[in-house]
Amino acid sequence: MQLKHLALAAALALSSAGTALAQTVTLKFHTFMSPQSNVWKDMHIGWMDKVEKDSGGRIKFERYPAMQLGGTPFNLFDQAKDGVVDVVWTLVGNTPGRMPRTEVFELPFMMTNAEATSRAMWEYVQANAKDEFKDVHLIALHVHGPGVFHTKDKPIKSVADLKGLKMRGPTRLTTNMLKSLGAVPVGLPLPQIPDAMSKGVIDGAVIPWEVVPSVKVNELAKFHSEFDPKLPALYTTTFVMAMNKAKYDALPADLKKVIDANSGLETSAWLGKTQEGNDPRGRKTAEERNNTITRLTAADYEAFRKAADLVDDDWVKEMSGKGINGKQLLDAAKALIQKNTK
Q: How confident is the model at residue 11 (pLDDT cuts 50, 70, 90)?
A: very low
Largest CA distance in the chain: 94
Q: Which helix (H) or strand (E) holds 39?
A: none
pLDDT > 70 in the chain, percent? 94
For residues 219 and 182, the answer to whether their CB atoms sit within 8 Å is no
Residue pLDDT, tens place only, 234-288: 999 999 999 999 999 999 999 999 999 999 999 999 999 999 999 999 999 999 9
Provide the residue type at 306 as one letter.
Answer: K
Given this model, what pLDDT does residue 8 score?
47
Residue 183 to residue 118: CA distance in whole angstroms: 28
Give Cα 249 to chain centroid, integer Å: 24
Q: Which of 47, 23, 45 is nearest to 262 (CA)?
A: 47
Helices 114-128, 265-277: inter-axial angle, 10-degree rounding: 150
For residues 187 and 167, the answer to whether their CB atoms sit within 8 Å is no
Write the DSSP string, 219-242: HH-SEEEE--TTSPPS---EEEEE
Domain ranges of the chain: 25-145+236-277, 147-235+289-340
Distances (CA, A) of 2 to 13, 125, 162, 253: 16, 61, 87, 36
Residue 95 CB contacts under 8 Å (≥ 6 apart), including other chains:
74, 77, 78
Residue pLDDT, tens place only, 137-181: 999 999 999 999 999 999 999 999 999 999 999 999 999 999 999
End-to-end Cα, the chain, rounded Å: 71
Given this model, what pLDDT does residue 23 score?
83
Residue 257 to residue 267: CA distance in whole angstroms: 14
Mean residue pLDDT of the chain comes to 94
Q: Provide the pairing of β-strand 87-91 with 25-31.
A: parallel
Strand-pairing partners, residue 225, are 149, 294
Q: Provide the pairing of β-strand 238-244 with 136-143.
A: antiparallel
What is 147-235+289-340's CATH superfamily? Answer: Bacterial extracellular solute-binding protein, family 7 (3.40.190.170)
Write the DSSP string, 275-318: HHHTHHHHHHHHHHTT-EEEE--HHHHHHHHHHTHHHHHHHHHH
Residue pLDDT, tens place only, 18-57: 444 448 999 999 999 999 999 999 999 999 999 999 999 9
Give the mean pLDDT of 118-133: 98
Given this model, what pLDDT does residue 342 score?
86
Residue 138 CB contacts under 8 Å (≥ 6 apart), including other chains:
125, 240, 242, 243, 263
Residue pLDDT, tens place only, 189-227: 999 999 999 999 999 999 999 999 999 999 999 999 999
Distances (CA, A) of 298 to 96, 147, 260: 33, 16, 43
Given this model, what pLDDT does residue 19 score?
47
Given this model, what pLDDT does residue 268 score?
99
Predicted TM-score of the model (pTM) = 0.93
Give the mean pLDDT of 118-128: 98
Residue 59 CB contacts under 8 Å (≥ 6 apart), including other chains:
24, 25, 26, 27, 51, 52, 255, 258, 259
Residue 206 to residue 227: CA distance in whole angstroms: 13
Strand-pairing partners, residue 258, are none
25-145+236-277 placed in CATH 3.40.50.300: no
Residue 8 to residue 288: CA distance in whole angstroms: 70
